Amino acid sequence: MSVVEKNKVVGIEYTMLLEEGQVIDSTKGNPFVFLFGAGEVFPKLEEGIEGMSEGEERDIVLEPEDAFGEYDPEAIQVIPQQYFGDEVPVVGMQYFAHFEEGNEIPFSVKELKDGNVTIDFNHPFAGKKIKFHLKVTSIRDASPEELEHGHAHHD
């Protein structure tokens, strides 16, 4: 019987939770399929899955640095509300900053005060431990094309 290892295409059903138990994502009933060892998922998650067999379940907890990153206080900035133009920013909403190079960086609005807006470029789950309750639903050999492309193909 095959196990999860490099150059296998692996399907997993998972529930992703914050440490306090809040569910933030789930692929139950619709497995996430990826090429193992190709950097499609968090490296520490791959480490935790390696060697599992089909049907096996496991809980894997990732430290913030291995998931969405540490919380960076420097990523909080205060900008004039006029940067938003006519739009009144909404606290808790996510927006995108557009840069000249064409990059789009998401940020969330934390506070509106005296014509200024406090914005936060941290990922919403930065600084959080992330727990995966997961089950391996499929394992197969990757095709030559998949290995060449570095990702799983979905049919």
CB of 41 to Zn ion, least distance (A): 17
CB of 40 to Zn ion, least distance (A): 12
Amino acid at 66: D
Q: Interface with Zn ion includes 149 (CB under 5 A)?
A: yes
152 touches 65 (CB < 8 A): no
* Contact map string, positions 42 to 61, toward Zn ion, x by CB under 5 A: --------------------
CB of 54 to Zn ion, least distance (A): 24
Report the residue closest to Zn ion, judged by CB: 149
Tell me the C-alpha distance between 151 and 116, whole Å: 44
Using the contact rule CB under 5 A, the part of the chain among 6-14, 38-46, 109-117, 145-153 near Zn ion is 145-153
Using the contact rule CB under 5 A, the part of the chain among 30-38, 41-49, 71-79, 146-154 near Zn ion is 146-154
Would you say 117 or 152 has its CB closer to Zn ion?
Answer: 152
Taking CA 67 as the corner, what is the angle to CA 66 and CA 73, rounded to the nearest 5 degrees? 95
CB of 148 to Zn ion, least distance (A): 8
Q: What residues make contact with Zn ion under the rule CB under 5 A?
A: 149
